[in-house]
């Protein structure tokens, strides 16, 4: 059978994730130290695990409401108001999703018609461009620059908007760069968004991992709040990647549209995870802060260590990645990562896995212990010295 005739054109056009490709390589080798994975090294706080276990013991093993447990939606809206000062209503503005991943998908599909453009940032999280393509939309990329600290500037945004632009997808703090938008950064782009009437999908999955300034959501600007779909979740802040739980917050019309897709493709997010998350939002914030402090110490270590070895590294303000520039080694991002893996058995991700603008950079995750980071960076230093011909 010729499967080429069977697969849809859309699925054939999307490329496999550059991260996966690299990890398949690493998985065939022994004793590899990986700094590649974007997932917390902490186990989910015990109180969350216990609440989920209790829900199973009690036999709460059924589908929940499509939008998610009412109690959880109430906690999410309370939390969002408490932390980020934006008001949402559990009934009309909130859907509990299967991770931020589902949130991104239903947000894109609820608004895009085939042929419409969505602006995505490059370098950016790997799921965005394929998500737009699978919806039949046209991804239009904005190349972010290290000299702007990977922020979205008004000039870059203005230049990317066309009469076909439907939406803009942003992610701050950013995976992979660690870039961050402050309130005053947003103040510069909000008038452009207001005037153009485009929708903003704001992926805020790393909001709690903001190290210098308080996280500011673009939804906190009243004049464009109704144009914003917030996507977030429990994976990163609460160390709950395997539970597959997230949420979207948006205007009632957008929420209703996203819920139409959600109810057919998902029905409802996992019930035990939802019970666990209620407990997390009520009682585990101290643990979120402890994890954040630990990530911050690791960030400080990595930024200094990479700069000391001559790889210029921008100081990320959030998330758990650093994005060192490796141009001074004379290698491309792919060559650097492949040779580093061969030579020192350390796995990082080439910046190009996040878009062509990632050329010249590598992504290093610090969701690993300081001990592991120390060992790995010593090996990276040996490799970098070799690249520069300093063998002693």
Task: Write out the residues near ligand PLP by the rule CB under 6 A.
Answer: 38, 99-101, 125, 171, 175, 203, 205, 233, 235, 241, 246
Nearest to ligand PLP of 33, 319 (CB atom): 319
Alpha carbon distance 392, 150 (integer Å): 36
Tell me the closest approach of the beta carbon of residue 339 to ligand PLP, in angstroms. Answer: 26
Nearest to ligand PLP of 175, 210 (CB atom): 175
Q: Are 95 and 68 in contact (CB under 8 A)?
A: yes
Residue nearest to ligand PLP (CB): 99
Tell me the closest approach of the beta carbon of residue 233 to ligand PLP, in angstroms. Answer: 4
Nearest to ligand PLP of 232, 344 (CB atom): 232
Tell me the closest approach of the beta carbon of residue 252 to ligand PLP, in angstroms. Answer: 23
> What token pair was written down for 91?
């009934």
Q: Which residues pair with 95 in a beta bridge?
A: 248
Tell me the closest approach of the beta carbon of residue 391 to ligand PLP, in angstroms. Answer: 38
Nearest to ligand PLP of 64, 177 (CB atom): 177
Tell me the closest approach of the beta carbon of residue 70 to ligand PLP, in angstroms. Answer: 21
Distance of CA 173 to the CA centre of its chain: 8
Tell me the closest approach of the beta carbon of residue 304 to ligand PLP, in angstroms. Answer: 24
C-beta atoms surrounding 36 within 10 Å: 23
Q: What is the DSSP letter of 123?
A: S
- Picking from 210, 230, 212, the residue whose alpha carbon sits closest to that of residue 220 is 230
Nearest to ligand PLP of 48, 309 (CB atom): 48
> What token pair was written down for 348?
């990082």
Nearest to ligand PLP of 90, 233 (CB atom): 233
- Picking from 306, 341, 338, the residue whose alpha carbon sits closest to that of residue 324 is 306
Distance set, CA 338 to CA 69, 164, 386 (Å): 46, 39, 15
Q: What are phi and psi of 81, to 5 degrees?
A: -70, -45
């Amino acid at each position: 059978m010729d499967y080429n005739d069977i697969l849809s054109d859309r699925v054939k056009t999307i490329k496999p994730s550059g991260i996966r490709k690299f990890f398949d390589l690493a998985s065939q080798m022994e004793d590899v130290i990986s700094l590649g994975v974007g997932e917390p090294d902490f186990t989910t706080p015990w109180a969350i695990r216990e609440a989920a276990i209790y829900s199973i013991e009690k036999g709460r093993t059924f589908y929940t409401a499509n939008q998610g447990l009412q109690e959880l939606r109430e906690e999410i809206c309370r939390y969002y108001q408490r932390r980020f000062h934006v008001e949402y209503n559990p009934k009309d503005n909130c859907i509990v999703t299967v991770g931020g991943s589902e949130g991104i998908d239903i947000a894109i599909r609820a608004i895009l018609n085939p042929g419409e453009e969505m602006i995505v940032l490059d370098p950016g999280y790997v799921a965005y461009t394929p998500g737009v393509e699978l919806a039949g939309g046209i991804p239009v990329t904005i190349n972010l620059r290290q000299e702007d600290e990977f922020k979205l500037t008004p000039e870059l945004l203005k230049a990317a908007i066309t009469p076909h632009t439907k939406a803009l997808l942003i992610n701050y703090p950013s995976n992979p760069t660690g870039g961050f938008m402050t309130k005053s950064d947003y103040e510069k782009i909000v008038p452009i968004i207001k005037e153009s009437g485009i929708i903003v999908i704001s992926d805020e999955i790393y909001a709690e991992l903001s190290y210098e300034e308080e996280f500011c959501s673009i939804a906190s600007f009243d004049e464009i709040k109704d144009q914003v779909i917030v996507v977030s979740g429990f994976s990163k802040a609460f160390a709950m990647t395997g539970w597959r739980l997230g949420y979207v917050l948006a205007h009632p019309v957008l929420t209703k549209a996203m819920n139409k897709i959600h109810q057919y493709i998902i029905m409802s997010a996992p019930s035990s995870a939802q019970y666990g998350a209620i407990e997390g939002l009520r009682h585990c914030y101290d643990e979120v802060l402890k994890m954040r402090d630990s990530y911050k110490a690791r960030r400080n270590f990595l930024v200094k260590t990479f700069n000391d070895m001559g790889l210029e590294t921008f100081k990320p303000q959030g998330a758990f990645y650093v994005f060192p520039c490796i141009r001074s080694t004379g290698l491309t991002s792919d060559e650097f990562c492949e040779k580093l893996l061969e030579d020192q058995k350390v796995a990082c991700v080439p910046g190009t896995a996040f878009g062509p603008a990632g050329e010249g950079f590598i992504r290093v995750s610090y969701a690993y212990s300081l001990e592991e980071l120390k060992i790995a960076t010593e090996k990276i230093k040996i490799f970098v010295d070799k690249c520069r011909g300093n063998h002693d």
